[in-house]
Structure 1
């Protein structure tokens, strides 16, 4: 089927799901179709947040089109494997895409990581995650510290990514396995950051308390 074919609400009660199922099937038959499907995803499934109550902007947990593109990445990996061909295709999708499409690639790497099937994509995926962490777009930074980033980013880079989210005002709920990876050096960096904020007369973000054994703002010890 063509990924650009219109759907009819009269015959299809869920056009978004039908489009995604068709697009995934197209990718399975012809992996080259992923390029057009990636570009069409937001128009076909929407751009709303996955968790509107807790994440109305879709920065922390992603958006509906993020999830659709992630599903397309999984379909691509199923079709061509997780070797150099897939790595090259994902790299092209990322660098030729806009911010939303770049998030989709990163969220797709997360999906593959969560099912234990990232294969040989780690070097290319790390390059993409590092590129995202250099961006000023909070949604890209958040996408880079999901399951793939938590598994594969080195500790130094990961710590700075966590603090960048705090600086950007993004909830640390975006960080996968935060408790497992947080360490004494991150604690120190969080305290230094809080001290700089106080010295400048600025508010200390509440999320910094998640990185230390005490409340930076009140000095109280956590239970």
Structure 2
């Protein structure tokens, strides 16, 4: 799970890029989210969860370059249950869904949120696919589904650097090697180029392949996606 220091670092970076009005809005929105969380923990009645409205308006308030980070901070402050996360995801725009996916590692310790990852992997939205194969999927996605997620990245053009913990999970995976080989054969037979990432992934499937660092798309990496 994401540590407090990472959240503090994310907020510091975000506030550096925000204007005064946006910083004030963020302070109020995260305070509302934290207060709602505390009321729930004490089982006290309270007003409607206004932080969810703030979550939706983060793009307008903070700008498209910072919306993801602002939404992640709101989710961290509110720490919603998997049921609430599923509702927010289902009702959200693509940008809101992406923020939910990126926040999962520090919100859900177990596999309860895998249906959200699986839903994103069924889309052809590359930003959702990239967010779906982050650290949460690396920790919880079953081997069969994870292999298909790697192929999904190749199909849609998502760089395999987006796949968190790829070297470890791919190492010695003969079935992934077979699937990648079949895909390469199909591409070649159709006269289409084989993605360079596929060859790199094939090398990683060797049991003794060195673990080259990948750049997982986690909840705290970057703030550049559109809102």
TM-score normalised over the length of structure 1: 0.73
2 CA distance for matches of 1:162 and 1:18?
40
What is the 5 A alignment of 1:46-61?
Answer: 46-48=63-65
Shift of 1:20: 2.1
Instruction: Answer 1 or 2: higher relative contact order, Cα 8 Å, separation at least 6.
Output: 2
Shift of 1:99: 0.8
Q: Which residue of 2 aligns with 1:158?
A: 146
Matched, 1:209 2:199: yes
Matched, 1:91 2:86: yes
1 CA distance for matches of 2:19 and 2:125?
35
- List structure 1 runs of 4+ shifted beyond 4 angstroms: none
- The gaps in structure 1 that reach 5 residues or longer are 1-11, 49-63, 81-85, 215-220
Shift of 1:139: 1.0
**1:42 pairs with 59, 62, 76, which one?**
59
CA spacing shift, 1:87–1:213, aligned 2, 3 Å: closer
1:52-75 superposed Cα distances (whole Å, 9 cap, x missing partner): xxxxxxxxxxxx322221111111
Q: 1:67 touches 1:107 (CA, 8 Å); kept in 2?
A: no
- The gaps in structure 2 that reach 5 residues or longer are 1-17, 38-48, 213-227
1:198-222 superposed Cα distances (whole Å, 9 cap, x missing partner): 11011111111221129xxxxxx99
What is the 5 A alignment of 1:1-223?
Answer: 13-30=19-36, 32-48=49-65, 64-77=66-79, 86-110=81-105, 112=106, 118-119=108-109, 122-123=111-112, 125-182=113-170, 183-213=173-203
1:117-152 superposed Cα distances (whole Å, 9 cap, x missing partner): 634x631x1111111111121111111111111100
TM-score normalised over the length of structure 2: 0.71
Question: Root-mean-square deviation (CA), in Å?
Answer: 2.3
